[in-house]
Structure 1
Amino acid sequence: MNFKKIHHIAIICSDYDQSKDFYVNKLGFEIKQEIYRKERDSYKLDLALNGEYVIELFSFPDAPARPSYPEAQGLRHLAFEVEDIEESVNLLTEKGIETEEIRIDPYTHKRFTFFEDPDGLPIEMYESM
């Protein structure tokens, strides 16, 4: 294998408008493309971070719920690097998004915290400094 990088992450949401607002207006992702697929009654929203395509946000009617706790099998969480974790936590708090307490990774000694998207998907912020 000659993997270069992660191309994108696909997320199926329960409430498209709420999730679109969360990822675009609260977290600041840029919309690259939005498509409504009539035959599937489904939206597909392509989102970018710093100009790089990273997330496909899907809506599907009656999609089943999936456990999203960090200890559930499957994808554990999404993690985003930030320069200043306290500033990032404050920005989320101003937008009504609760975060866990900031912790320190016992191996790297870097600070990190978690918050959730509207469907309970765990999202981590990991300080790069």
Structure 2
Amino acid sequence: MEQWEEVYKNTIPVGEYQALVKNGEESGLFIKLECNEYIANINFGIVSAFRMFDEGIVLAGIFDENEITKYKKSNFSNTIYKIKDGEFGNFIKKTSNEIYDYLGLSHFVIITINYVIEVISEWEPSIEISKK
């Protein structure tokens, strides 16, 4: 059963963030979140997989409805969550022939006003916050 966990609680200030996503073979996955007051730079480095959807309208049918309802009440104020037993993570786990467990991969989701970004990574992201 899919479970979401708030991670890095209170690290990314509450805001209506827009996302800029860059990914490269050598540089890895970099996500810049920007709102009226803050910029949050999230660097995952090299990741195993990621997928991105335009806007939050795709939440229904992809994620567990109970988990969505729980965090939607606060307008997804934590911005970044870790998912256990999620659809995308399970897909990668199934197709990776046990590499998922061997590498200790984690499934993250970042929810902003313009994108829903899922990341499968061996590493925890580094997060830097600055005021505009």
TM-score with structure 1 setting the length: 0.24
User: Could you say which structure has the higher strand fraction?
Assistant: 2
Task: Tell which structure's C-alpha radius of gyration is larger.
Answer: 1
State the structure with bigger RCO (CA 8 A, min sep 6), 1 or 2: 2
TM-score with structure 2 setting the length: 0.24
